[in-house]
Amino acid sequence: MKDLCDLHNELAPKIVAEIVRPTINNGGKTSDVLVLLESVAGGVLATLEIMAGGGADRDQVVGGLLEGVRQRWDQILEDRRKSAN
């Protein structure tokens, strides 16, 4: 069984590519990628809530997700800045 951090690091770039490349390669724009991302995030969150039996505080879940996205986005940009120098 893989360590969850290793699994994350393996899957995330593949999932990003699967969301972004086909959309852009078929004439889509950034807004189209974001709509697809919304659909994927909504589907994942709904699936997790169903698996957990419901009762999730949506504002808390989405707020936590957005905070994690902000942190990861900042880290990715910082890592790219460092590798460019």
Are 43 and 7 found together in one domain?
yes
Are 30 and 50 found together in one domain?
yes
Helix 30-52 and helix 58-84, axial crossing angle in degrees, nearest 10:
130
Please give the structure tokens belonging to residue 50.
């169903």
Closest CA to 41 of 23, 16, 22: 16
For the chain, how many structural domains are there in total?
A: 2
Are 28 and 39 found together in one domain?
yes
Are 49 and 71 found together in one domain?
no
Domain of 22 in residue numbering reads as 1-54
Are 43 and 2 found together in one domain?
yes
Are 59 and 48 found together in one domain?
no
**pLDDT single digits (tens) 23-79:** 999 999 999 999 999 999 999 999 999 999 988 899 999 999 999 999 999 999 999
Closest CA to 41 of 69, 17, 60: 69
Does position 1 have pLDDT exceeding 80, yes or no?
A: no
Closest CA to 44 of 26, 22, 27, 19: 19
Query: Hey, is 5 helix, strand or coil?
Result: helix
Are 44 and 21 found together in one domain?
yes
